[in-house]
Chain A
């Protein structure tokens, strides 16, 4: 019991066990969506209950937690979730990617490569990669069961015919372990290559749809494409205005009310670390 009288990790032990069972199954079948039956969690909307349920079920006293939202540690949501877990578990928290054992994320993968032993927990708003193409859930389940993914390629074909390229910037569909079509949650397509053979375990929690899926360490994750239109991870063609990085994913931010704009890293830890290294070198 923590000081507040909550069970460790907020969820009761039965719920955590149920979610852990779903996680184990998800790890055993990479990319396959596993339903879980957890009761409704009394949490504010927009917190990412799926991600929180996963984190709450895997976190232990020895863990160090990092929480990011759109790459940043300091947004309202990231701060709230980090404080929440600090309260209900008492574990250490950090903003440093390298120091965290669990990273809960919404919409980004950190720039600093993850290593074996770390776990990346994604908050997923919509787990079904086919939902825009096939609204019938029973049919999408059948398509997954039969690995019948021609329809997703039709969508890519249509994009190229219409726009000259695949017009998916976020949540670009991937094939996991050569078998299951998976939505990587709305991370930028730029982040997709980081998922491929990542040494860290990747867990995905969708609260509303009550689905968990996983990519075990060192699993192949391939972005769908055509031989003559290969997948290209795109980023703005600029350097970060703060750390000058030309490798990181950039956000365009408005800097004044004259319409001035600049590009900065979306990963605040990566950017801050680079800035302090530069200062130290000067």
Chain B
């Protein structure tokens, strides 16, 4: 197997008495989709934020391998390098599209921002790229100059994904990307994400409440509880033959529903 893109070990972080992360270790390889599941408050968002360098752990390290193969400690790389990373080789898709979009900038401008941030200076080229990405996420390219606040929730989320993927990141963090959406819209979005991941060979670390979504998308599954990873393994193995009693409960509750 190729060297991991991201490798974390011994991650711990407390908020007062709450252990949001308790000695968490994790690896993700190029092209791999890893889902993080667990009940509310189990530390999923905190883990994503710590792994992506948005939050500093009290203990532990996160190592990132850049496209040239050099390994960096995520929490020691400095703000400028961190920003550069977050708009080139990494992406972050927020649950609420408002957190990931500029609501007062057109759809085309939203997609173009990351291109311009990494140096694109040809208007026509930026526009062509934005048009292609709108098509790719199934938004009518006619709406390139439309404002995101006029878009439906599902469209906003697809726009956020287009904006994130336009610089061809190798690793994308997603925090419940289908969270606030209707069930039918969720299914369509998941399908789209699955297609993009396969086409682009993305590595994705996705937080979800939805076991069915995890089964559809993820190669591997991590089950969190009280800030600890209680079980992890290949998705089918974990879901068909859960070892930890909490995972058994989680799977049973989905089957019952």
Task: Take A146-B83, A148-B117 as given contacts and tell me if A227 and B105 are in contact as well, using a CB distance cutoff of 8 Å.
Answer: no
Do B102 and A226 have beta carbons less than 8 Å apart? no
Q: Please, how many residues of chain A have a CB less than 8 angstroms from a CB on the other chain? A: 18
Q: Which residues of chain A are near B113, meaning CB under 8 Å?
A: 150-151, 154
Do A226 and B109 have beta carbons less than 8 Å apart? no
Do B145 and A153 have beta carbons less than 8 Å apart? no
Do A226 and B121 have beta carbons less than 8 Å apart? yes
In the bound complex, what is the Cα–Cα distance between A128 and B108 (angstroms)? 26
CB-contact partner of A150 in B80, B116, B127, under 8 A: B116
CB-contact partner of B105 in A145, A158, A160, A229, under 8 A: A158
Do B108 and A161 have beta carbons less than 8 Å apart? yes
Do B124 and A162 have beta carbons less than 8 Å apart? no
Q: Which residues of chain A are near B117, meaning CB under 8 Å?
A: 148, 150, 153
Q: Is B57 an interface residue (CB 8 A)?
A: no
CB-contact partner of B124 in A146, A151, A154, A228, under 8 A: A228
Q: Size range of the interface on B?
A: 20 to 34
Q: Which residues of chain A are near B144, meaning CB under 8 Å?
A: 161
The A interface is mostly helix, strand or loop, or mixed, namely helix
Q: Which residues of chain A are near B124, meaning CB under 8 Å?
A: 228
CB-contact partner of B126 in A142, A157, A162, A225, under 8 A: A157
**In the complex, per-residue mask of B79-122: 1 if CB is within 8 Å of any chain A CB, else 0:** 11001000100000000000000100110110011101110011
Do A154 and B145 have beta carbons less than 8 Å apart? no
In the bound complex, what is the Cα–Cα distance between A221 and B80 (angstroms)? 24
CB-contact partner of B108 in A145, A146, A151, A157, under 8 A: A157
Q: Which residues of chain B are near A146, meaning CB under 8 Å?
A: 79-80, 83
- Least distance between A148 CB and chain B CB atoms (Å): 6
- Least distance between B79 CB and chain A CB atoms (Å): 7
**In the complex, per-residue mask of A125-166: 1 if CB is within 8 Å of any chain B CB, else 0:** 000000000000000001001101011011001101110000
**In the complex, per-residue mask of A207-233: 1 if CB is within 8 Å of any chain B CB, else 0:** 000000000000000000111110000
Closest to A143 in B: B83
Q: Is B15 an interface residue (CB 8 A)?
A: no
Closest to B114 in A: A150
Q: Which residues of chain B are near A225, meaning CB under 8 Å?
A: 121
- Least distance between A164 CB and chain B CB atoms (Å): 11
CB-contact partner of A157 in B80, B87, B123, under 8 A: B123
In the bound complex, what is the Cα–Cα distance between A228 and B118 (angstroms)? 18
Q: Which residues of chain A are near B116, meaning CB under 8 Å?
A: 150, 153-154, 157
Task: Take A142-B79, A148-B117, A153-B116 as given contacts and tell me if A158 and B123 are in contact as well, using a CB distance cutoff of 8 Å.
Answer: no
Task: Take A157-B116, A158-B109, A162-B145 as given contacts and tell me if A228 and B123 are in contact as well, using a CB distance cutoff of 8 Å.
Answer: yes
Q: Which of A154, A160, A226, A227 gathers the greatest number of chain B CB atoms within 10 Å?
A: A154
Closest to A150 in B: B117
- Least distance between B88 CB and chain A CB atoms (Å): 12
By Cβ-Cβ distance, the 6 closest A-B pairs, closest first, are: A150-B117, A153-B116, A226-B123, A150-B116, A146-B80, A227-B122
Known: A153-B117, A153-B121, A228-B125. 7 other contacts (CB 8 A): A142-B79, A154-B116, A161-B108, A161-B127, A226-B121, A227-B123, A228-B124
24 of the cross-chain contacts (CB-CB < 8 Å) are A142-B79, A146-B80, A146-B83, A150-B113, A150-B114, A150-B116, A150-B117, A153-B117, A153-B121, A154-B102, A154-B109, A154-B113, A157-B109, A157-B112, A157-B116, A157-B123, A157-B126, A158-B105, A158-B106, A158-B109, A160-B123, A162-B145, A226-B123, A229-B123
Q: Which A residues are closer than 8 A to B by beta carbons? A: 142, 145-146, 148, 150-151, 153-154, 157-158, 160-162, 225-229
